[in-house]
Amino acid sequence: MAGELRCDSVWYGADLITMRDGQYNPITDGAIAVKDGVIVWIGPRAEAGDIQADNQTDFAGGIIMPGFIDCHTHLVFGGDRSHEFEQRLNGVSYAEIAAQGGGIISTVRATRDASLDELVSSARWRIDCLLAEGVTTLEIKSGYGLDEASEVRMMMAIRQLAQQIPADVLSTCLAAHAVPPEFADNPDGWIDLICEQLLPRVKRENLADAVDAFCEHLAFSPQQVARVFARAKQLDLPVKLHAEQLSSLGGSTLAAQFNALSADHLEYASERDVQAMAEHGTVAVLLPGAFYLLRETQLPPIDLFRQYRVPMALASDANPGTSPALSLRLMLNMACTLFRFTPEEALAGVTLYGAQALGLADSHGSLEVGKVANFVHWPLARPAELVYWLGGQLPCQVIYRGEAQ
């Protein structure tokens, strides 16, 4: 029983899908008491006792889920690449598009030309699409500036967005995303600049919460990534890695050896990679949007992740080139249909394990006492409906830090 408890708000009249331990762990006809934006009591309504609250909300049915966590996005950038999408569908190859000045370099050019205000405003409408579907925490990466000034401007935009929206926003420095055109013949020179100039500035000015890189034959080698990670660790910045998306280079093992929060994509991860991730507590972040848009046929090793008990998170990978995804809920369905997730696994992937991939598992991702009061009421009968419905915007009430939005 809660006994006598004074709090700011109490929310009841719905079944609570707590996602404790990455499972539904439901509480039928539950109640949640919130004080100072934190859950201070949770349990069956019948056991709530004498809870005194300034605000009381009775939902009269439905379910309450933890707020969704989108742990891998590239939402800040200039321009758009819809014309390239159309070109590809009309038979123009990616190599031809790149030769015409397209591909990631076109986004780099547009991002460099964009002002801070333009980056913020163009990202805002994309973010609003995610918020409308119950996202209350998201990560946003840099990586389309590819020079010091533009990378810093991107991270400043991310920090500004964090002050404007009702969601917890984390910034990740992904300067090692691609080789800048100015360093085409000297990629190690760009790595030098990242390690010697950019990352110390990122730390000094508190521009990012983590450091990421792209380990792939068309980006950076494991040896180059190791240099970036070693510098990040010296600066006490957590790391994560785009790894094994297009080929097997052992990036996931490298990431795990640096105790990375996550390794992301992972279509070509080997059993050795999975073992290393399990040993070091590195989360597997799977991105079905990019898998779908690129018409990939190599599935991530889902059964190995299950076998070795590697937590599997899901994210939108929202970006202008390979995953223009503005619906995290659609990613839930894709994970189930394309990757053979169960609905419970998919929902754990955007709640508790999404939080773990951001280093937030102690404060976010499940409905438990002591965690932030980020949750969503859905007028639905069961959690699987969130995965089942394709398209459309399901009605919901978002509560962020204990306040209805």
Query: Structure tokens of 146?
Result: 């590819």
21: confidence class by pLDDT, cuts 50, 70, 90: very high
The Cα–Cα gap between 107 and 321 comes to 9
Q: Is 265 annotated as a binding residue?
A: no
> In whole numbers, what is the pLDDT of the chain averaged over residues?
96
Q: Is 245 annotated as a binding residue?
A: yes
Q: Is 83 annotated as a binding residue?
A: no
Q: Which residue has the tokens 């205000």?
A: 117
Q: Is 322 annotated as a binding residue?
A: yes
387: confidence class by pLDDT, cuts 50, 70, 90: very high
For the domain made up of 5-67+366-404, the CATH class stated in words is mainly beta
Question: Which residues have C-beta within 8 Å of that of residue 165, sequence separation ≥ 6?
Answer: 124, 127, 128, 131
**Res 95: pLDDT:** 63
**Res 191: pLDDT:** 98
**Res 84: pLDDT:** 87
The β-bridge partners of 11 are 32, 57
**Res 97: pLDDT:** 77
Sketch the domain layout of the chain as residue ranges.
Answer: 5-67+366-404, 68-358
- What mean pLDDT do residues 256-265 have? 98
Q: Is 317 annotated as a binding residue?
A: yes
The Cα–Cα gap between 44 and 29 comes to 6
Q: Is 74 annotated as a binding residue?
A: yes
The Cα–Cα gap between 226 and 126 comes to 33
Q: What is the CATH number of domain 68-358?
A: 3.20.20.140
- What mean pLDDT do residues 191-195 have? 98
Q: Is 72 annotated as a binding residue?
A: yes
What pLDDT, in 10s, does the model give residues 28-40? 999 999 999 999 9
Q: Is 144 annotated as a binding residue?
A: yes
Lowest-pLDDT choice from 94-98, 177-181, 279-283? 94-98
The DSSP-derived string for 1-69 is: ---SEEEEEEEEEEEEE--GGGS--EEEEEEEEEETTEEEEEEEGGG--SEEEEEEEE--SSEEEEPEE
Please determine, for residue 53, whether its predicted confidence score (pLDDT) is greater than 80: yes
N residues, the chain: 405
Q: Is 393 annotated as a binding residue?
A: no
2: confidence class by pLDDT, cuts 50, 70, 90: low
164: confidence class by pLDDT, cuts 50, 70, 90: very high
The DSSP-derived string for 173-209 is: EEEETS--GGGTT-HHHHHHHIIIIIHHHHHHTT--S
**H-helix or E-strand spanning residue 254:** helix 251-257
Please determine, for residue 209, whether its predicted confidence score (pLDDT) is greater than 80: yes
